[in-house]
Amino acid sequence: MITRMSTLFLRTLREDPADAEVPSHKLLVRAGYVRRVAPGIYSWLPLGLRVLRNIERIVREEMDAIGAQEIHLPALLPKEPYEQTNRWTEYGPNMFRLKDRKGGDYLLGPTHEELFAQTVKGEYNSYRDFPVILYQIQTKYRDEERPRAGILRGREFVMKDSYSFDLDDEGLGESYRRHREAYIRLFDRVGLRYVIVAAESGAMGGSASEEFLAESTTGEDTFVRSTESGFAANVEAVVTPAPEPKPIEDLPAAEVHHTPDTPTIETLVDFLNASEMGRTFTAADTLKNVLVKTRQPGTREWELLGVGVPGDREVDIKRLEAALGPAEVALLEEADFADNPFLAKGYIGPKSLQDNGVRYLVDPRVVTGTAWVTGADKTDHHVVDLVCGRDFTPDGTVEAADVREGDPSPDGQGTLEAARGIEIGHIFQLGRKYTDAISLDALGQDGKPQRVTMGSYGVGVSRLIAAIAEQSHDELGLCWPREVAPADVHVVIAGKDDSVRDGAERIAAELDEAGVRVILDDRGVSPGVKFADAELVGVPTILVVGKGLAKGVVEVKDRATGERTEVAADSAVGHLVGLVRG
């Protein structure tokens, strides 16, 4: 079917919508793909729906290819399964909750681990049934605090969510690996530039969770990458390269100095440099000791923890949390200092921590043989030349210091630079959290029940459209990669003559017959308006049928590169079919 602009339900806009800040949002609205209904809630118009359907098709093909089976669960869900896993409470204000006429509690599903686990439990019970991977492409609801950038962060959005069910960890690893590969194929097919970043560092088991981030300056996720290699990681997952230990023998002895009014690194460094020691110090020569408290899951007791980082760096609490997970981390309150009078606020040193049995972890740069200026555990006093491995021995290292641009890349190649991305996919080895909650077991070969282990894997299907638009557009409009484009060829009738119109109609009809998806601009508006709309809509190939037809030529324009080619009208169909089939 030829799509005729004269009847297509489409009104393009010349002006950017007032609420739009990022290019994808502006262009998707201006080109008539989506329309806003309420914050984070959008309608799909014909062209937008085509792109959405194309993406869904690609996602389905790649999911089916790894043996996943599509099902469809309701979006309107009863509270009970989410109570069993405690997410009815834990999920917080992002969950849309509602009541039915009898006062029963319901929610609009933000993600479906509970229901998938329950569905499998309802059907399967033998080890022979496993493994199984199920998925759905479904509308999800999250009452996002800040819906943003149109369909990029919606409150209603389309997600592909899949869940794997395996009997053991190796099986889960295999299901995870298959998803990872399916995602790579799928994001390659939709033409995105993206990175895969470990969500957390080794502490949680390395590749237990990875995110796929489409590179984009408008993205909300920050990651770091090497200036020279393909290394990319979440800041939480960056491992600091440790220098070689140094010899201790000839280092000067540690000496305590009276350093009045120097509770900060800056005041300390200024004081030392103005003193008569005759040495120059920088913040990097100081060791800053930050006190936090941690609590293991399932316990009530908080435990003090000292964290030592070079004084030119801050403790990045998110990195610290990721490194210490699953333990909770909290900052000390005044009461904690009162309870532990050996903590000389602003002047804490390794010595009193270790004397008082406080666990002390340091940045990996604090190796044996490094000498530091640090607190002397007495107000207004610091110790100079306190040597690691001689004067103090940390209990281990921790990734807590902030990561900076220019830091060496953990793979040894190049330095790190910060970049931004849009999270388009997330793969996650969940383990038994949900199957424990509902006792999802398979009867093993030995007749004993075996707890099933689960993975959960998401793709932001509607968000992908915004991510692609962010990466492929120019000042004139959208430029879709062919597989997701709403059509293959946008035929512009650029002339009023009947012969031009007839010629264009004939070519459009032949293209359509050859299976090429055609938009035909047959409106009675000026060629300028038609060209502007063709650029805005962003179909990958634009065919201009105009005055040249009298000489037997038409013009083919590549939307992405802007390259124009004159082609004989007689061979235009063959030429275009060739382009489309690649």
Residues engaged in binding ligand ATP (CB under 6 A): 111, 142, 144, 153-154, 157, 159, 423-426, 458, 460, 462-463
194 or 372: CB nearest ligand ATP: 194
Shortest Å distance, C-beta 110 to ligand ATP: 7
310 or 458: CB nearest ligand ATP: 458
Query: What is the chain's percent helix, strand, coil content, to nearest 5?
Result: 30, 30, 40
Shortest Å distance, C-beta 14 to Mg ion: 37
Shortest Å distance, C-beta 199 to Mg ion: 8
Partner that binds at residue 421, options ligand ATP, Mg ion, none, CB closer than 5 to 8 Å by kind: none
465 or 536: CB nearest ligand ATP: 465
Partner that binds at residue 30, options ligand ATP, Mg ion, none, CB closer than 5 to 8 Å by kind: none
Give the number of other CB atoms < 10 A from CB of residue 67: 12
Measured in degrees and rounded to the nearest 5, phi and psi for residue 23 equal -55, -45
Helix axes 461-471, 46-65, angle to 10 degrees: 110
Partner that binds at residue 463, options Mg ion, ligand ATP, none, CB closer than 5 to 8 Å by kind: ligand ATP
Shortest Å distance, C-beta 426 to Mg ion: 4
And the tokens for 49? 């729906």
Residues 454 and 117 sit within 8 Å (Cβ to Cβ): yes
161 or 391: CB nearest ligand ATP: 161
Cα distance between residue 400 and residue 235, in whole Å: 11
Tell me which stretch binds Mg ion (CB under 5 A): 64-72, 258-266, 425-433, 515-523: 425-433
89 or 229: CB nearest ligand ATP: 89
And the tokens for 27? 């262009």
Transcribe 543-555 into DSSP letters.
EEESGGGGGTEEE
130 or 223: CB nearest Mg ion: 223
Partner that binds at residue 159, options Mg ion, ligand ATP, none, CB closer than 5 to 8 Å by kind: ligand ATP
Cα distance between residue 224 and residue 419, in whole Å: 6
Transcribe 394-425 into DSSP letters.
-SEE---BPP-TTSBPTTSSSBEEEEEEEEEE
Partner that binds at residue 425, options ligand ATP, Mg ion, none, CB closer than 5 to 8 Å by kind: ligand ATP
Shortest Å distance, C-beta 125 to ligand ATP: 29
Cα distance between residue 238 and residue 198, in whole Å: 9
Q: Torsion angle of alpha carbons 463, 467, 472, 473, nearest 10°?
A: 70
Shortest Å distance, C-beta 538 to ligand ATP: 21
426 or 530: CB nearest ligand ATP: 426
Measured in degrees and rounded to the nearest 5, phi and psi for residue 339 equal -70, -20
Shortest Å distance, C-beta 46 to ligand ATP: 21
Cα distance between residue 439 and residue 84, in whole Å: 11
Parallel/antiparallel/unpaired status of strands 381-387 and 255-258: antiparallel
Q: Is 25 in the site for Mg ion (CB under 5 A)?
A: no
Partner that binds at residue 546, options Mg ion, ligand ATP, none, CB closer than 5 to 8 Å by kind: none
Q: Using CB under 5 A, pick the residue from 50, 319, 365, 426 that binds Mg ion.
A: 426
Shortest Å distance, C-beta 164 to Mg ion: 17
Cα distance between residue 484 and residue 322, in whole Å: 37
Return the residue matching tokens 């981390």.
Answer: 329
The site that binds Mg ion (CB under 5 A) totals a number of residues, namely 1
Nearest position to Mg ion, beta carbon: 426
212 or 531: CB nearest Mg ion: 212
Q: Report the number of secondary-structure helices (H) and strands (E) in the chain.
A: 15, 32
- Binding region for Mg ion (CB under 5 A): 426
